Amino acid sequence: MHHAKPLPALETITMPSKVRTTFLLIAVALLAFFHFHLRLSPPGAGALYPGFGLSNLSVSRPSEQSAAVALNYAIREAESVPSRHVSSIPEEPIDTVSILFPAWEVFAIAPPAEEDGRVRERDWHCVFQNNATSPAALAGVLPFTNRTMFKCELPPSVRRLRPFYQPALTRSSSERAFPAIATGGAAKELFRWNFLAYESLSTEDDVVLFVKGVNNRQGINRSPSELSCVFGDDPATAVRTAVMSSAQEVFRCAHPKLSAVDSGTEIKIKITLEIALENRVIPSVAYYTPERRKLATNGSRSLLCACTMVHNVAKFLKEWVMYHASIGVDRFLLYDNGSDDGLQSVVDDLNRGGYHVRMLTWLWPKTQEAGFSHSAIYANDSCEWMAYVDVDEFIFAPAWNSSALPSKLMLTSLLPAQDGPALHGQVSIKCYEFGPSNQKTHPPEGVTQGYTCRTRTEQRHKSMLRLDAAHASLLNVIHHFRLKEGYKSKQVRLEDGVVNHYKYQAWSEFKTKFRRRVSAYVVDWTQAINPASKDRAPGLGFEPVEPRGWAQRFCEVGDDRLKALTRRWFGLESGSGYTMAWQR
């Protein structure tokens, strides 16, 4: 057996007095440094959150809250919470509520500039729950609440986490931190776009609310009796009114009694839907405003307006507006779905030129039907008829070829006279679809000049709607609306009028369609679903890869009638050829 050796006796070391004095001075200096550091550090730094890792966050999840708090969680915007401050972040994050959109886009909605002037500044970042960051770009200002929207990307490192929490919107800095959670508080989860109340509009008689995720399948709608509109973000005082109509993403309900909610002009009233059978209140970023919003405020009502949803159409817009204004469209209403190509400057230029173009920021993805429903209410006091045609669609009548100049009576001549027993509420015009016509890039003279070859048979149709004839549900399938009882549609013969749809353009333009389809009920180009659908281009796959022979496709009939007409009306001959009015 081996016995452990005894430990040697510890040697007594005597420190020289000079060394002791040096260590004492160092210790005093360190204590003084930490004393002043803690006194000068902002609240939340130092000892309050040592280390500040995710393991130090005390997060109360919605499932751990009481029913009342859970209800409040569903309908209240993300509130300010105490934040960790570091010396490089001298200010609080902007108070925002954020939504996760498709393609990992995060949209943070900030207060109006008049409430927080910092939104006018630049160089903002989204800071996420693991302290990962991404730049936040200004996305637009919501038209009726004036709230500012910023767009950032959900970082890849966050996509693996569950749940996703609302990011903080902070100034650019070399050191950023996700806000700390106060003791007993709760982190707010990121709103999901597929289940959200996102917009509202009032009429004299009711409230129109736009909600994603309730009626998900076309033609199948929840009964209004299953739903209630909820006004206010405090469950103890929230007011509920009956839903009278439920169709697609549009819900109509009664106004609340203003005495029952905070109705001061400076107080925002949240509005959302409640699904009674599920005891579920839908998250919301929508606000209720009792007064009606109008396209025009001067009291005049135009005979014919045009409406469309747009994304990055700056190079196309002048041609479309100038042509249709010359044949009878008085006003143009654009729902802008996140353009970043300088579209606003083109709109401003057109308005300075005497045209009437109104552009609304409408960042909600895949909501074309809802946008058109919104326009039928918003523009009703300003427009008698609304033409729903896109910026690559031009209404044309063969009889106009004999006219040396355009006339504002041309397009309105296609509208029905209402002096007979039949009440026409809608005019349906068939479409010819044009192909790339050997173009490799966007023709600088415009689409009417560059695309002159089309398919032989007509496809689909577009409509002009008498706004007073729209059914109360506001249901539409993009090409036409459901009409009130007693109204019917008028079909325009091909020889009397047609829509030239410049659909299949040069590949450099057409491939941008792969970004996202605008309809709520049409699958995106990249989804391998229903490949035989008429909403797809024949022979096109699911990736933005140019098919062989694209420039020669969809060319069965040469048709340059509108090219000749617009050149006569808008062209200016020069030594190098023709320059069109929209090129100047």
Three-state secondary-structure class, residue 25: helix
Instruction: Give the pLDDT confidence score for residue 219 in this predicted structure.
Output: 87
Query: 211 forms bridges with which residues in the sheet?
Result: 197
CATH class of 196-288: mainly beta
Neighbours of 46 (CB within 10 A): 16
- Residue 489 tokens, joined: 């549609």
Helix (H, G, I), strand (E, B) or coil at 160: coil
Q: In the structure encoding, which two tokens stand for residue 536, read together?
A: 């797809």
DSSP lists the bridge partners of residue 290 as: none
pLDDT of residue 155: 97
Question: Where are the CATH 2.60.40.10 domain residues in the chain?
Answer: 196-288
C-alpha to C-alpha distance for 580 and 12, rounded to whole angstroms: 100
pLDDT number for residue 575 = 77
Rounded CA separation 345/150 (Å) = 20
pTM > 0.75 = yes
Give the dihedral of Cα atoms 212, 366, 350, 299; nearest 10 deg.
Answer: -30
Mapping DSSP to helix (H, G, I), strand (E, B) and coil, where does residue 488 land?
Answer: strand
Start-end ranges of CATH 3.90.550 in the chain? 302-520+551-583
- Per-residue confidence (pLDDT) for residue 74, from 0 to 100: 35
From CA 182, how far away is CA 366, in angstroms rounded? 37
Q: Which amino acid is at 275?
A: I
- Regions of the chain with pLDDT less than 70: 1-91, 172-177, 179-186, 235-236, 259-267, 297, 419-421, 514-542
Residue 582 — φ and ψ, nearest 5°?
-80, -5
**Per-residue confidence (pLDDT) for residue 84, from 0 to 100:** 37
Number of H helices, E strands in the chain: 9, 28
Residue type, 218: Q
Contact in structure between 56 and 178 (CB atoms under 8 Å): no
**pLDDT value of residue 261:** 54
pLDDT of res. 72: 37
Return the H-helix or E-strand segment holding 110: strand 105-112
CB 425 within 8 A of CB 488: yes
What does the alpha-carbon distance between residue 8 and residue 26 come to, in Å, rounded to a whole number? 33
Which residues are CB-contacts of 583 (< 8 A; sequence separation ≥ 6)?
A: 444, 445, 446
Query: What dotted CATH number matches 302-520+551-583?
Result: 3.90.550
